[in-house]
Amino acid sequence: MPYATQVIEKGTSYSFVAEAKPPTVTMPRIKALMTGSIPGFIDVVVNLNSPALLDDNLIWQAKTAGKRIIFYGDDTWVKLFPKHFVEYDGTTSFFVSDFTEVDDNVTRHLDRVLKREDWDLLILHYLGLDHIGHVTGPNSPLVGPKLREMDNILKKIHISLLSKEGEASLPSLLVVCGDHGMSETGSHGGSSEGEVHTPLLFISSAFEKRSGPLTQPELVQQTDLASTLAVGLGLPISRNSVGTLILPVVGGKTMREQLRFLHLNGFQLSRLLEENTPAYEKDPGYEQFKIAEKSHGNWIKLYLEGNNSEILMNLGKKVLKQYLEALKTLSASLSKQVAQYDMYSMMVGTVIVMEVLVLLLLSVPKALSSRAEFEVPLSPSLFSLLFYLMCLVLCAVHVIVCTSAESLCYFCSMSWLTALGVMMLISALMCGILSAIGKILENSRLPVKNPVASSSSWSEVDVLMLAGTIGHVLSLGASSFIEEEHQTWYFLINTLCLALCQELCRNHFLLTECDPQHGISLKQNFDGIGEASDCKSIDVPASGNSKLDKVASSAEFIKGSDKWISLASPWIILICCRLLRSLNQTGVQWAHRPDFGHWLTSSEHKSELSFLAAVSLVMIFFLVQRRCSLVSKIAMALGLLGVYSYRAAIGNVVFPWQHDSKDISKGITEARFVYVFVLGIVFTGTKDLLKSQVISADSSVKSTGLWEVYSGLVLLAALLFRPHNLPVLVFCLLIQTMMTKYIWRPLKCDAAQITIMHYWFGQAFFYFQGNSNGIATVDVSAGFVGLESYVEIPAIFLTAFATYAGPLLWAIHLLCYLSSEVSRFCARALEGPQEMKLSGNCLMEALAIREKCIKTQKLLHLRNAAAVGHGCFCYALMRSIPVAVYILLVTGLRYHLFIWSVFSPKLLYEGVHVFITAAICLFFTAMDQNHSQKVQD
C-alpha cells in the first residue's frame, strides 16, 4: 500500500495498533467500535442474524445531532442501525467465495458520493480481503492485488477530501481501521495476536505534519475509537463506553480544550463505574479521577486569573498526566466488571441440564440391561400432586423475579406460555427423578435371583475408559487444558491403543480357544453373540472329502495371518495418529509453528498436494465401496472424481496435463455435480432403511442402507475438506476398518466399550482436522461450496458438518457396526448349506446348523436392538457428563480472566456438539425402534 505508507511517513496522520477483545468476529467488533463497550460472547451466535442495536452508540448520537450518514458495504451495519442512514447499500458478508463483487458494490458509489455535499459521515466496509483470508489464507497471491486496490481507493478518498477543504469551514477526518485481524490460517474469532491486533489510522489536515523518524505505533484499545470520534464530532460519549480518549488525535488543541475532553471522558467512566460497582468510591481509578478533578479546578482558577506563566503550563501537563492515568485505571476496571450476567436465565438452563444428567445416571442399570430399556417415568408424574405443586411454586418464583428484577432478563422477556412450558418441563423432570429413585430403592429391597450371573469383572480397558472419561471432565476446569484439549484426546487414544495391544496379546497367546474367559469379559447384554458364534463354531465332519480338507487348511492359514495382523493393528493405528498430529498444528501454544499442512498448501508445492489429494481420493473409494451396491460404487467413483475437479477448478490442485491454474473459477458446477451423487447415495441408503423398517425384517438390507448413508456422508466430507485434510478422512476410514476386523471382533468387545472407543476417536479426529476450542479454526468457506449466493440454512449445515465431520462419521460408523455385527454369524450360517454341495451325514449336520440359527434369529434381532440401544444411551451419557460439569464450571468461573477468550468459545462448541449429538441419538432410535418392536410382535 504505497500511498498509505507515504501518508504515514510524511503526511499529517497518526497511526496506532488497536487491540480488539475476543470474540473477533464482525458484529461484536462493530458494536465495540460504535458503542465503546465490550460485547458478550453470545454475539458470536447473533452474528449470523444481527438484531438492531439498542444500546447508546455513536451512530444514534450522530443522527440525533442532525448528521447525515451514508453507508456502503457489509449489511451487518444495516441490521444493527436499520433507520440511521439517509442512504445505504448493504452486501452480505457471509458469502466468502466472493472476492470482487462485494468490493465493487461499494466502490461503484464512490465517484458520485464524493462529488456531493449532502452528507456528514460516510462509512465504507470492504469485505474482499476478509474473504480471501477465509478461503485461501493470509499468504495467498490474491492478498497483494487486493491491498493495492484498497490503497487506490484510500488515495481517491483522501485527494477528494483535500480538494474540498478550501470551501469547508472545518477540516475532514479520514479513519482507516479493521474490525478484526487474521490468524495464520486466514480465519478469525479467537484471541491470537494476529486476530486481535488491527490497524488504526487517522488522516487529517488538522494534524501537524510529521517530522523526524517513524516510531513504533502506540497500542490502544479498539473501544477507544468511539470516545475519540465522539469528542471530535462534538457528540456525547456513549453511556456504556469503556474506552478512553486517544490524546494525540486532539493534541493540536489548546490545553484548556484537552483537559475539558479528558474530564468529559473521566466523568462518563466514573458514572458507569458507579452504576456497576457498589463500592465504586474505593476503586483506585475513581480516586485518581477525583484527585485529577481537583487539580483541574486549581488549573482553571489560575487560567481565569490570566496567569500565562510557565507554572500554568507545568500544572496543565501534570493534570493531563493525572487524567490519563485515571482514565486508564477506570477503563481497565470497567472492562473486568462491566459484564452483566443474566443469572436467573443461566440458573434455569443449568437446572434443566443437571436434571437430564441425573435422570440418565439413574437409568444406567435399566438402560444397560439385556432389553436396553430407557423409559423416562413422566406419565405418572404428570398426574401427580407433586407435579402441580412444583409448577405453582416455580411460576410464583418466576413472577417474583421478573417483577422485581431491575436489569433485563432473557427468560423474563419470553412469552408467559413459553415460560410456563419451561416450568412444566422442570417439574416433570424432577418428578421423573424422584420416581426413578423410588423404583431403585424398591428394587434394592428385593432378593437377587441370580447373583452369579449379575457379577461382572472389569478389564484394564474398562478401567482406562472410566479413568480417561473422569480425567477429561476434571481437566475442563483449567484454561490451559481447554486451550490444548487436543493433547488430552491424543494421549487417551494412544493409551487406549496400548491397552488394546495388551488385550490382543493376552487373547492370542495367554488364553486358549477353549478357555471360557477368552478375551475381554462379556457383559450380560451380549450373550446373544455367544449363541450366534456357537452356530459358527460347530464342526462339520469331513468324511474324507479332500475339498473340505483344503477349505479347512485355508481357513487355518487365514486365521493365522489374521492373528498377526490383529497384533500389529494397534501399532499401525498409533503410527497413523502420529502422522495426523503432524498434519495440522492446533491449540494455542504451538499453533504458530509450521506443520505439514502449511507446507502442502504453499504455492510452491501444488504438485505434491495434487498427488496427495488424488491418492487420498482413490484410497477413500477402496475403503468405502466394499459394502456398497454396484450403483453406489459407480456414484462414489464419479463423485470423488468430481471432488478433485472442484478443487482443480478453484485452483487448489492441478490435473497432470495442467501447467498452471490461471482459469480459476468458483467451481459451482463441479461442486453441484458432487452434490447430485451425495444425494443419490444417501437416497439409495434411505430407501433400503425404509424397506428394512417397513416391509421386510432382513438385517442385511438395513446394514447395506446404513453403510450407503455413511458412504454418502464420507463423499460430502471429501468435498468440504481442504485438499491437505483429505488424509484425515483416509486415516479415519482405515482405522475404522482395522478396528472392526482385527480388534473388536477378536476381543468380542461389548456395545458400551465400542461406543466409548468411537466417541474417543471421534473427539480426536475433531482436532486432527485442525479444529480447536477457538472460533478462528472454523472453516467458514466450507459453507459456501457450490453456492452462488448466501443461503442461510445450507451454509450453516455445511459449515457445521465440515467442522464436526470427525465425530459425526465415527458416530454413524458406530451405528453401522452395532446394527450389522451381531447378525453376521447367523447370516453366514443361513447361506452356508445352500452354497456347499454336501452329501449324507455332512448335509444333515449342515441343515441342523441352519435349523438352529433360524430358531435363534429372532433372539439375535432382539440382541441387535439391545446393542443399538446401549450404544445410543452410552453416547448420550458420554456427551452429557462433560457438558453438565462444564456448565457448572463456567458459571463459577464467569469472572475469570480468560472467560471470554478461552471458556466461552469452548462453551459454544459444546452447545453445538450437544445439538448434533441429540440428532445422532434420534437417528439411532429411529433405526432401532420400529424394527425391534416388529420382531417382538
SS3 assignment, position 70: strand
**11's grid cell:** 503526511
Task: Tally the C-alpha atoms within 13 A of residue 660's C-alpha that lie toward its C-beta.
Answer: 2
b/e per residue 10-25 (b: at least 16 CB within 10 A): ebbbbbbbbbbbbbbb
CA 842/CA 667 separation, integer angstroms:
62
Could you list the beta-strand ranges (E) of 261-344. none
State whether the Cα torsion 9-13-17-23 is positive or negative: negative
- Give the CA angle between residues 705, 708, 713 to the nearest 5°: 130
CA 725/CA 770 separation, integer angstroms:
9
State whether the Cα torsion 780-785-791-795 is positive or negative: negative
CA 910 to chain centre: 8
CB 130 within 8 A of CB 25: no
CA 165/CA 190 separation, integer angstroms:
41
Question: In sequence order, what are the beta bridge partners of 74?
Answer: 91
Q: How many CB atoms lie within 10 A of CB 625?
A: 16
Helices (H), 165-223: 193-196
- CB neighbour list of residue 158: distance below 8 Å, 6 or more residues apart: 3, 7, 174, 203
Cis geometry, peptide bond prior to residue 23 (ω within 30 degrees of 0): yes
- CB neighbour list of residue 606: distance below 8 Å, 6 or more residues apart: 652, 653, 654, 661
CB 737 within 8 A of CB 623: yes
Q: How many CB atoms lie within 10 A of CB 742?
A: 22
Q: What is the pLDDT of residues 514-550, one digit of tens each?
A: 444 443 333 333 333 343 333 333 333 333 344 334 3
* Helix H or strand E encompassing 871: helix 841-892
CA 489/CA 574 separation, integer angstroms:
13
CA 828/CA 832 separation, integer angstroms:
6
CA 332/CA 326 separation, integer angstroms:
10
Rg (CA), the chain: 34
Domains and CATH numbers, the chain: 2-235 (3.40.720.10), 343-441 (no CATH), 477-511+560-824 (no CATH)
Residue 557's pLDDT is 42
Helices (H), 603-724: 606-624, 630-649, 668-690, 699-720
**435's grid cell:** 420416581
Report the first-to-last Cα separation within the chain, whole angstroms: 76
Cα 756 to Cα 466, 570, 762, 884: the distances in Å are: 10, 17, 10, 18
CA 244/CA 325 separation, integer angstroms:
10
- CB neighbour list of residue 340: distance below 8 Å, 6 or more residues apart: 276, 407
Decide: pTM greater than 0.85. no
Residue with cell 440454512: 793
Task: Tally the C-alpha atoms within 13 A of residue 472's C-alpha that lie toward its C-beta.
Answer: 23
CA 122/CA 758 separation, integer angstroms:
55
State whether the Cα torsion 807-809-810-811 is positive or negative: positive
Residue 558's pLDDT is 44
Per-residue 3-state assignment (H helix, E strand, C coil) for 101-123: HHHHHHHCCHHHHHHCCCCCEEE
**732's grid cell:** 479415519
Dihedral over alpha carbons 740, 743, 744, 749 (to 10 degrees): -170
Q: What is the pLDDT of residues 150-182, one digit of tens each?
A: 999 999 999 888 888 776 578 889 999 998 888
CB 712 within 8 A of CB 678: yes
Which residue type, as a one-letter code, is found at position 336? K
User: For the chain, how long is the longest CA-to-CA vector?
Assistant: 128
In this structure, are strands 69-74 and 87-91 parallel, antiparallel, or unpaired? parallel
CA 495/CA 474 separation, integer angstroms:
18
Q: Which residues of the chain have pLDDT under 70?
A: 40-50, 94-97, 167-168, 212, 337-340, 369-383, 405-408, 446-457, 511-560, 659-664, 695-699, 821-866, 928-937
Residue 515's pLDDT is 45
SS3 assignment, position 19: strand
* Helix H or strand E encompassing 22: none
Residue with cell 500389529: 568
Which residue type, as a one-letter code, is found at position 761? F
Backbone angles phi, psi at 14, to 5 degrees: -130, 135
Helix axes 224-232, 26-35, angle to 10 degrees: 40
Helices (H), 692-750: 699-720, 726-739, 745-747
CB 292 within 8 A of CB 322: yes
Which residue type, as a one-letter code, is found at position 107? T
**Among 907, 916, 915, CA closest to 882:** 907
- CB neighbour list of residue 284: distance below 8 Å, 6 or more residues apart: 329, 333
**Among 859, 843, 570, CA closest to 699:** 859
